[in-house]
Structure 1
């Protein structure tokens, strides 16, 4: 399977956006844990816009869009969506037109990712108070109107959590495997966030295809464990259809998934995650935010304290720096 997936990744449609490999280096604030060597994978430093994990997904998603001749890209999300900002930055790099759709009111003063979207010159639509399904329906209608007008359009769907988007983290497993071999790091446990499951699906699928070089622990930041597993399975099935390579093992056999640190769900701090945002920046000089990153660090430290993770452990920093400026 390893040769087949590597061959597929090398020949499938992709645009170059990522400054790869992103850094993998030691963390200094874990010295109290004697049985652990702690690392961080810096996917907050993906080299485009404010950085973040979505750059990996967009390489394959926009690769498909370019290959079929689309000139206008549409993406949707909350007003502080990291995906939207990174899509806008990617389109600027590639010379594509980009429009963003937000379910929320347009603020008088633009902060965080909205400020960055404005600097990128992106057209933004603010729909006011509505849910994500209404927002997504509007985005599809907008794309259809452009198609009718003769403008080939492409929608980045489901926050880039699609089978093609998951290829970004399938490829990231290969990247990290090579880094660990070069740095002589063995038997690493990777802690990563689980929101709608895109990063998790790519990691789990890639890890399985490459012979399980890593132990994968997914920390839910939003849904209960069973719901997150269903999201991951759905995305992996989409990826299998694209690659033609089936993952034989069940998700629960290939990764450990915890919902113990999610609190009230997406965007809702816990007491521990609030404290970790401050502690991590003051110990490491690295900023994390309160939707995905901080809960993963809380979970990783708890596993270490309980002896559930030893040796080489790695926190996958998925970015979100732009939204941090609107979170306080």
Structure 2
């Protein structure tokens, strides 16, 4: 057992999801290319609408419980996947959850807002404001509850913290075992880069597990340099928590591309908009417009350019709840 496996086994964690999530071949297999396409179904993490944040929340809520917290606060935009999944995870874990949303309360709730209402989650609608104002309000609310004697745990930065990234460090261990069981050779994994949490966990875990995978991160928001800095900072936090340093740079450990981000977060490209439709119609699996569609476009383009070969895995990080408010 490697040191990171021992740490993950011993650290505080709330079990939320059935593991492992499926890893299986895609229906579509490109002709004339030396690749076999697979999909890792992290849209099927078993809580709420499913998605990648459940992996992070296992470790974050584990820390919250270890600190005696009874209330969890999270913040995000109107269709935040993190907020919906935090609310669902807290319901399963028996923890109170409140959300801070930087939007006006709509007359009719759709997508993730509807799911949060069904969960009975208390939502603080701030009206239109930027993320800085929203996050400041969350910290003020946390301080008020603390002053009143309630133990509060704040899910910060969209769960992109060193502890949150451990969710995808653990996912590397999980995928390595799956590949061994399925007889899959060295696999290339394509994953999204938003604020860098998934990417940081994958890159960190892959290094500490001996580089079983080739990692390609597709930015959906920032330029390559900015995303790399986010990933580097989050890995540094993870190293402090585990005491296990990564012995190479982020640039050496993974390939990061910003060629498919278009106008940035939430802004479709012509190709990503089409991918939402074509993937559903060829696989019977839904992706969405912010993260997962751009990763798919990037992966297919790399295949077309013959920049990858062998087993190639599309990491589907979920987002189903927000899809219902995107059309």
Q: Structure 2, unaligned stretches of length 5 or more?
A: none
2:300 aligned residue: 301
Alpha-carbon distance in structure 2 between the residues aligned to 1:28 and 1:95: 39
* 1:122-146 superposed Cα distances (whole Å, 9 cap, x missing partner): 0001111110010000000000000
User: How do 1:115-134 and structure 2 match up within 5 A?
Assistant: 115-134=114-133
- Rounded Cα–Cα distance in structure 2 between residues aligned with 1:19 and 1:157: 25
Who is 1:147 aligned against? 146
Q: Find the counterpart in structure 2 of residue 114 from structure 1.
A: 113
Q: Distance in 2 between matches of 1:3 and 1:186?
A: 20
Deviation string 1:179-223 (CA, Å, 9 cap, x unpaired) is: 000000001000000000000000000000000000000000000
Instruction: Give RMSD over aligned pairs.
Output: 0.7
Pick closer, same or farther for the CA change 1:135–1:239 going to 2, 3 Å: same
User: TM-score, length-normalised on structure 2?
Assistant: 0.99
Q: 1:165 aligns to what SS in structure 2?
A: helix
> Are the aligned partners of 1:24 and 1:39 in contact in 2 as well (CA < 8 Å)?
yes
Query: Partner residue of 1:30?
Result: 29
CA offsets 1:212-236 (integer angstroms, 9 cap, x no match): 0000000000000000000000000
Q: What is residue 158 of structure 1 aligned with on the other side?
A: 157
Aligned residues: 327
* Contact 2:194 2:220 (8 Å CA) reproduced: yes
Report the Cα offset of residue 28 of structure 1.
1.1
2:318 is aligned with 1:319: yes
The SS at the match of 1:38 is strand
Displaced runs of 4 or more, over 2 A: 30-34
Instruction: Please show how residues 142-221 of structure 1 align to structure 2 within 5 Å.
Output: 142-221=141-220
Deviations 1:41-81 (A, max 9, x none): 00000000000000000000000000110000000000100
Pair 1:52 & 2:37 matched: no
**CA distance, structure 2, for counterparts of residue 19 and residue 88 of structure 1:** 18
The answer on whether the counterparts of 1:33 and 1:304 sit within 8 Å (CA) in structure 2 is: no
- Aligned partner of residue 45 in structure 2, secondary structure: coil
* Aligned equivalents of 1:108, 1:324: Cα separation in 2: 19
Q: Deviations over 1:10-45 (max 9, x none)?
A: 000000001110000000112325311000000000
User: Do residues 227 (structure 1) and 226 (structure 2) align?
Assistant: yes
TM-score computed with the length of structure 1 as normaliser: 0.99
Whole-angstrom distance in 1 between the partners of 2:102 and 2:185: 44
Deviation at 1:4, TM superposition (A): 1.0
Q: Secondary structure at the match of 2:218?
A: strand
Separation in structure 2 between the aligned mates of residue 131 and residue 34 of structure 1, nearest angstrom: 45
2:274 match:
275
Structure 2 residue 102 is the aligned partner of structure 1 residue 103: yes
Q: Write out per-residue CA displacement over residues 155-187 of structure 1, whole angstroms, 9 at most, x where no aligned residue.
A: 000000000000000000000000000000001
Q: Helix, strand or coil: the match of 1:249?
A: coil
CA distance in 2, matches of 1:199, 1:71: 27
Provide the rounded CA distance (Å) in 1 between the counterparts of 2:20 and 2:165: 17
Deviation per CA, 1:66-120: give whole Å up to 9, x if none: 0110000000000100000000001101111100000111110000000000000
Correspondence for 2:290: 291
Q: For the structure 1 residues 50 and 33, does the alpha-carbon distance in structure 2 shift closer, same or farther, using more than 3 Å as the test?
A: farther
